[in-house]
Copies of this chain bind each other. A is one copy, B any other.
């Protein structure tokens, strides 16, 4: 008989996420080991405990989840986790700090749907594109063949991100400043899909700018706290027509996000070598059909 499944929750916040824990339970995890305030320095001993306790036949029944509200802190933990693995001594790991991967995947799936089934050659823009969710959305849009504008108040940051994304994906990615209305309008010219991935309470796309974008077909706003990121889109919108544009709000993509998250946790236990980051999480989302 197989050993019970164990998920080790490595959370960088002092109180480990209840959200992630409930999803783990609902994904069918048998035992959840919850750790808060996890730093890269803590990782080795914690991961050794996962690696050295079960034999090869049962190792896929132990897995790791890296979370917490600070995506950069989570990435440091993830890096330390991967550095601890060696040879066959590895377990599967899902990275979803601040829900960044499941949110980005759900947003991109909405974009695919809104664009009629394919993003190949579609012009898209990501506002707040230099943050952890925005970067992931841009990366995934590029993977699916879109041409992507990374918008940010800081042109310098946008250019650095765009360069990194071009190098990573080989896709067509350019940077625009969006700090002034005319810059924003310029950045969005000809764009069919826009995703707002900025900080809470930051209005990224005013109605006056949006109404002057005749080619816009899809508007996705990942901010759930009013004022929302795209004026005229509601948090609960889910493929809602708003002035000829199909709109999704943060809660509107939330159902898909939850399904992806749950499925990704289950995927961890299918082998001991899964490393589920943005691309892998998107693939899981696409497989849900």
Contact = CB atoms under 8 A, between A and B. Distances in A.
A288 interface: no
A48 B50 CA distance: 29
A62 B22 contact: yes
A53 B32 contact: no
Given A23-B53, A26-B53, A53-B26, A18 B3 contact: no
Nearest to A34: B33
Contacts of A69: 45
Contacts of A234: none
A215 to B, nearest CB: 34
Contacts of A33: 18, 21, 32, 34
B15 A53 contact: no
Contacts of A42: 14-15
Nearest to A28: B4
Contacts of A201: none
A255 to B, nearest CB: 9
A26 B48 contact: no
A18 B8 contact: yes
Given A31-B25, A54-B26, A49 B17 contact: yes
A6 B25 CA distance: 9
Which bracket fits the contact residues of A?
35 or more
Interface in A32-50: 32-35, 37-38, 42, 45-50
**Total copies of the chain:** 3
Given A25-B4, A25-B6, A49-B22, A15 B34 contact: no
A32 B34 contact: no
B3 A46 contact: no
A258 interface: yes
A49 B31 contact: no
A86 interface: no
A38 B19 contact: no
Contacts of A254: 52
Given A3-B26, A26-B3, A26-B54, A19 B37 contact: no
B35 A15 contact: yes
A20 interface: yes
10 contacts: A3-B25, A14-B37, A15-B45, A18-B45, A18-B47, A18-B48, A18-B53, A22-B54, A31-B32, A34-B34
Q: List the 10 closest A-B pairs by CB distance, nearest first.
A: A18-B49, A19-B49, A22-B53, A18-B46, A25-B31, A15-B42, A21-B33, A15-B35, A18-B50, A19-B53
